[in-house]
Amino acid sequence: MRRVQMANPSWRWTLVVAAFVAACGGGGGGDGAASGGRGGLPPFTGVWVIVFENHGDVYMLNHADAKHFRELASTYAVAGNYSDITHPSLPNYIEMACGCNDKHSSFTVRDEPASNLITSNPNRLFREPSLGGQLEAAGVEWRAYGQDSTPGSKLGPCTMNNPGLYVSRHVPFLYFQDVFGTQTDPYGERDEFGHPLDPDALPVCVNRIHPFGDFLGTPNEPYPSGDFYWDLGNRAMDYYWITPDQRYNMHDGSVEEGDLFLEKVVGQIQQSPQYRNGGVIFITFDEGDLDLLDQILFIAVSPYAKRGYVSSTAFDHDNFLATVEDIYGLPRLGRAQGVPNMAELFQP
């Protein structure tokens, strides 16, 4: 995991305020929730989640190559006091999926791929309910999409290991029994890429964890292709989780590459009728780039979002989980219980 150390962390709020004053001409702050769905949330027509890697909000808002991050932050609603919960990456992803990482610190602190967790000790697969399991039980159509931009990638559904630039530990739903499976032999035989040889043995995982596709297109196929784009074009899902690979999530790649992914994918989503009729795109990071003051960027892009709004309310991954659960009328899980959702980012 990379760390980008700032010379003086005390500059944080000066830099954040300066960035947003320049981009927005000012900002709001914590003045109550919108009216609408449960917990004051609007009746969204679709939810998209894009999670990037290992950069704090100050770093992103002041980076010369983060043009589209800044553009979206200045146009839509930002949680200006949003933080991760710990280090390294995986516990933050687990928290976004169940609010229960505190029960599994001895597992998740290793930051290991899902395949290691399963093959080393199948009993370590998390038995707590997850957001994925909740959506499944409630009849909400959902998928998580993992990207692999490696040339010749053969990424398939329910991939547990880490071929190419794909990283399974950034797809948190793979770690839970209510998604991966609870059959007598739920772990099954897999090919060299980590794909189940018997897809019928893992029906939820195979149906719900899919490869993302090619967001840039190719000379022979200039339009984006892949499972995500088919689902987007057919409005096949209600909830879309998007995991960029190690290049485009900026873990190994550049901010310029992450900004390109953001520009293209958000633009493609915004062209869809599902988004235009009242969808929301949540853009955030797993964790920050410092050991302290790990504030990370969180942007809510939506026709319902307050324009140019910056909240000063303290939020983290538990508030985000609570928000998604409230959107779909689901029970709150783990530490999402008792925390406010993020309705204040949206218009009544």
Domains defined for the chain, CATH in brackets? 9-345 (3.40.720.10)
pLDDT of residue 317: 96
Mean pLDDT of 124-149: 92
| Element containing residue 270 per DSSP (H, E) | helix 255-270
The better pLDDT of the pair 64, 87 is held by: 64
> How many Cα neighbours within 13 Å face the side chain of 207?
16
Question: 162 near 142, Cβ under 8 Å?
Answer: no
What is the share, in percent, of the chain residues with pLDDT greater than 90? 59
Mean pLDDT (the chain, rounded): 83
**What pLDDT was estimated at residue 180?**
79
Start-to-end Cα distance in the chain: 40
3-state secondary structure of 264: helix
pLDDT for 306 equals 98
- Tell me the helix, strand and coil percentages in the chain, rounded to 5: 40, 15, 50
Contact 342, 300 (CB under 8 A): yes
As a whole number of angstroms, the distance between CA 224 and CA 86 comes to 35
pLDDT at 106: 46
What does the alpha-carbon distance between residue 345 and residue 34 come to, in Å, rounded to a whole number?
Answer: 8
pTM of the model: 0.86
As a whole number, mean pLDDT of residues 193-215 equals: 82
Q: Which residues of 105-139 are buried (b: 16+ CB within 10 A; e: fewer)?
A: eebbeeeebbbbbbeeeeeebbebbbbbbbbbeee
pLDDT surpassing 80 at residue 61: yes
pLDDT at 330 over 80: yes
Average pLDDT on 226-235 reads 95
